[in-house]
Every structure is written in C-alpha cells, then in structure tokens.
C-alpha cells in the first residue's frame, strides 16, 4: 500500500499530532486498536443479534473514539453513522452500516500494522 493509499484511510501525521508527537505512543494506540476493534465489532454484532440498540450504540461510540485517535476519518465517519442509527433504534439500517464499517476497518488494518512496524508516512 502506497503513502497516498494509506493517507486516504488515515492521516498518520494528524494521528501523530493527536499523540503529542510521540511515535511510540501512537504505535501503542495502534496496537490497542487492533485488539479493541475486533472486540467492539463483535459487541456491535451481538447487539444486533439481540435487537439491543444501546449495545450497538455504545460499542460504535467506543470504536469511533479509537478511530478518531488514529485520524481514520472514513472509518470514524461510518462508526458515527452507525452510532446515530442505533441511537434512533434503526437496527435495520444499522445492519447495513456494519458491513460498511467492517469494510473500512479491514481497509485500515494493513495501514495500522505498517504503522506499528514503523513503515509509514514519517519513515
């Protein structure tokens, strides 16, 4: 994945700014995201299976926060949309939004893995 591709998925320079310019901190945030995002996506799916919009809303909110810390705007926007749908109790549309969120997080993962390895815009 080239720099331009990664930049369309997340803004590494902005994420570094969010972490106070501390590359090691940003890499730790990225590592935590890889584990946490799987948990949050499973919570979202479980909330949808149970018809529980509150669970979906809270998990989407937490995931949006993680995505925001990484300056992953496309995925964060989808998570925010999912959070809003769940807040309105619209689980049918939320089901569709989860597919988009899965896609965005899957697109983000390789870029985050490269960031952890130290391969990225700042290298």
pTM over 0.85: yes
Kindly give the residue spans of alpha helices, DSSP state H, lying in 72-90.
73-87
Of 75, 53, 54, 48, nearest in space to 64 by CA: 75
Q: How many domains does the chain have?
A: 1
Tell me the residue range of the domain where 36 lies: 25-117
Q: 122 in a domain, yes or no?
A: no
Q: 32 in a domain, yes or no?
A: yes
Q: 58 in a domain, yes or no?
A: yes
Residue-by-residue pLDDT tens, the chain, 123 positions:
444 455 689 999 999 999 999 999 999 999 999 999 999 999 999 999 999 999 999 999 999 999 999 999 999 999 999 999 999 999 999 999 999 999 999 999 999 999 999 875 444
Q: 8 in a domain, yes or no?
A: no
Cα 5 from Cα 104, distance rounded (Å): 13
Q: 13 in a domain, yes or no?
A: no
Measured at the CA of 105, the angle between CA 12 and CA 25, to 5 degrees, comes to: 40
Residue 62 phi/psi, 5-degree rounding, is -65, -45
């Amino acid at each position: 994945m080239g720099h331009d591709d990664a930049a369309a998925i997340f803004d590494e320079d902005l994420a570094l700014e969010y972490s106070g310019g501390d590359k090691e901190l940003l890499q730790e945030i990225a590592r935590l995201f890889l584990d946490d995002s799987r948990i949050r996506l499973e919570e979202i799916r479980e909330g949808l299976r149970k018809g529980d919009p509150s669970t979906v809303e809270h998990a989407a909110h937490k995931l949006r926060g993680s995505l925001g810390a990484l300056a992953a705007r496309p995925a964060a926007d989808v998570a925010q949309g999912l959070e809003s749908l769940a807040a309105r109790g619209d689980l049918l549309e939320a089901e569709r939004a989860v597919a988009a969120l899965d896609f965005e997080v899957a697109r983000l993962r390789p870029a985050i893995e490269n960031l952890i390895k130290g391969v990225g815009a700042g290298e």
